[in-house]
Amino acid sequence: MLRLILISLVTLAGCTQSSSESPSNSAGIGAGLDKALARPNIVVFLADDMGAADLNSEIRTPSLDRLAAEGVRLNRNYVQPLCTPTRASLLTGRVPIRFGLQYRPLRPWDTHGLSTDELLLPEILQEVGYRTACIGKWHLGHGQAKHHPNNRGFDSFYGLITGAHNYFTHERGGALDWQRDGTSLKEEGYSTDLLGAEAERFVRAQADSERPFFLFVPFNAPHSPLLAPPDLIAHYSEGNSERRATYMAMVEAMDSAMGRVLAALDETGVSKNTIVLFLNDNGGARIEGASNKPLRGGKGSSFEGGIRVPAIARWPNKFPAGATTEQVVSAQDWMPSLLTSCGLPIPDNLDGQNIFPSLSGNNILPRKDLFFGTISEKGWYLALLDGDDKYLRRVLPDGRKAEKLFNVANDPEEEKDLSKLEPEKFEAMKARALAWHALDPNGDPVMVTDAPDGWTVPEDWAR
């Protein structure tokens, strides 16, 4: 019922625009508008496992460099420690513990996905007339059709529905995971290149349309398996391990794919009215060649290296060019921020907040606590961030427990435990973190790495 109410409110808001819009428009809220007055287009790039230190580094990334020069770089952008939880938070505007996707990614044998009770950003934008496309890695539910992107607000989907597939064969576990709108495709090519080409085609196809578009490009790069075109690997081989060189090549390939989209935006004349976000799903996997220095930890932990990741936001004439901000931003903030930029109401049940005023004016907005949690081979983590203060609990696989308090502004490496010096703050933040954890409908998380007995890889991941 709440979902229906929210959709009705958004639709009503979309139908009560200013007099500059055509009252006879029946083809969607964007149709018939003067392009200068239309709602902004939205392009969201999402990297997979990119390290915090791998932006503006020795890796060749002209597209990211350009976005940073033309937009705002976010120095305190936070996500969840693993991929599925962050993707869920990004598209719902909510902390994933509320709907049971907090602590681990979806595994190949899982049949559940992001609950259909949750209202997604693409569903709202689709309802008010946006053309919507997801081109890349979904990883929010593959076992049931109701969880697939075409049934979650995307007019079109191209890419892989699980994760960690082979970049050249496009297989996961020996079965093809490469599709268009629910039908598997056998295509030659490096998956990052194919995603870039498809995203470019989508943008160019909108050139003559008066409807705004939402393009979501969740790359699978530079997530393992570490595979890249040999010529790119060769460029980075000198002075780097094979693992690091391959990872760097994967990041460069992703940057090149982004460049195709940015060029298409320019050449079709829509760049000035397009919000472009570059985000990341979790901290870099150091074992796979990423660097999060000087931050502690990485993917699969709630230390800063696992949850503080690169991000850039560009909106010409709205955000200052070449700026940086220390505003604390979370994955759940992007949905309310984008809805507001489109003149749409923010559903009351969101955890995120509109942070675009901070990016526009470079002023720091106050915000509520941020909760993080994960379970991996490194242990079970809980964390709560309140401004610069951070509570962290870690339960190791052998049952040993450690709880600490850090000031991440003064101590980004998280080496100085302040829990004994500030016991009242420590206990208060601990209580708030545990209150967040208590919301999980699944209870305490359990580490699961093995498929259940009898499970086999499907012949076709698209079915």
Active site residues: 83, 139
- Gap between the Cα atoms of 47 and 40, Å rounded: 22
Dihedral sign, Cα of residue 325, residue 331, residue 336, residue 339: positive
Find out whether 144 and 114 touch, Cβ atoms under 8 Å.
no
Element (DSSP H or E) covering residue 41: strand 41-47
Task: Give me the half-sphere count of Cα atoms (radius 13 Å) on the Cβ side of residue 214.
Answer: 26
CB contact burial 409-430 (16+ within 10 A = b; e otherwise)? eebbebeeebbeeeeeebeebb
Q: Closest Cα to residue 274, out of 330, 207, 331?
A: 207
According to DSSP, the residues that pair with 312 across neighbouring strands are: 73, 278
How many residues are given for the chain? 463
Q: Closest Cα to residue 54, out of 352, 377, 283, 332?
A: 283
Q: How far apart are the first and last CA of the chain?
A: 29
- Gap between the Cα atoms of 303 and 383, Å rounded: 8
- Gap between the Cα atoms of 251 and 257, Å rounded: 10
